[in-house]
Amino acid sequence: MERSVHVYAEAGDTHAGDDAHDITVPAANRLNRAGFEGDVESVIVSTRQEHQVIPRIERQGDPLLLLSRTVDRSRTNVAWALQYLTQHADTLLT
């Protein structure tokens, strides 16, 4: 199943959102073609200096909401970053 993204609103610097889309949609499409069933829970891309952390946020209504954050690799625990972003999104959406 090919996925697409609909943008409802943008504010400020949207490059991270564009990057999240450019990473997540092709990854999910390729995983599905390879036989993976279900939705991607999160995507983490690491460079020498940074992690791009993209958790999937569950919510009613729209089936998928992505929240993206780029963090300093040398100072960040990825598991904690995922947990924090998910909790932050839950707070914003409730």
* pLDDT tens by residue, 76-94: 998 898 888 888 877 877 7
Q: Within a domain: residue 64? A: yes
Q: Within a domain: residue 80? A: yes
Q: Within a domain: residue 8? A: no
Q: Within a domain: residue 3? A: no
Q: Within a domain: residue 74? A: yes
* Helix, strand or coil, per DSSP, at residue 58: coil
Model confidence at 74, pLDDT cuts 50, 70, 90, reads: very high
pLDDT given for residue 89 in this prediction: 78
Q: Within a domain: residue 2? A: no
Owning domain of residue 72: 15-93
Number of domains in the chain: 1
User: Which tens digits make up the pLDDT trace of 40-64?
Assistant: 677 788 888 888 887 876 666 655 6
- Residues 43, 57: contact at Cβ < 8 Å? no
